[in-house]
Amino acid sequence: MPAEQRRRLLEQLPPERRKRVEDQLERYNRLSPEERERLREQLERFRDLPSERQQAARELFRRFSSLPEDRRRLLREEFRLLRELDRSERRARLDSQDLRNRYSPAEQQILRDYAELLEPPE
């Protein structure tokens, strides 16, 4: 989007919302080309989900976003690990004592819900 158009759109937002959008744009602009591509691919995969799975992903993201930043950082790393595992390895990881010791019950549920989104729909 051209800078002038972006500026006009941002001016229409309430101050708090505008600040959040500007912060997100700044973070996006700091990403490497590889990270931007990964983000683009994730968005495409999200758009390909059926609407009920999109809604589940949005709810999961809301719960994740409500966590303190230090906990979100830990869960992001766990998300990365879960993505790399196959289905049986993911289930074993989710049932592990290490995971139960490391994360609160609410965080464990976020991880389980995330793993469920990784599974192809039946």
Residue 82 lies in a domain: yes
Reported as a single tens digit per residue, the pLDDT across 76-91 is 999 999 999 999 999 9
Residue 111 lies in a domain: yes
Token duo for residue 18: 């505008």
CB 106 within 8 A of CB 66: no
Residue 35 lies in a domain: no
For residue 122, what pLDDT is reported? 63
Q: Which domain holds residue 109?
A: 51-118
- Percent of all residues in the chain with a pLDDT value above 70, rounded to a whole number: 98
Local confidence band at 21 (pLDDT 50, 70, 90 cut-offs) = very high
Residue 72 lies in a domain: yes
**Is the full-model pTM beyond 0.85?**
no
Angle at 70 between CA 67 and CA 71, to 5 degrees: 45
Residue 102 lies in a domain: yes
What's the mean pLDDT in 15-19? 92
Q: Name the domain count of the chain.
A: 1
For residue 11, what pLDDT is reported? 92
Residue 64 lies in a domain: yes
Asked whether the CA dihedral 51, 38, 91, 87 is positive or negative, the reply is: positive
Smallest CA-to-CA distance from 67 within 4, 111, 29 is with 111
**Longest alpha-carbon distance in the chain:** 53
Residue 101 lies in a domain: yes
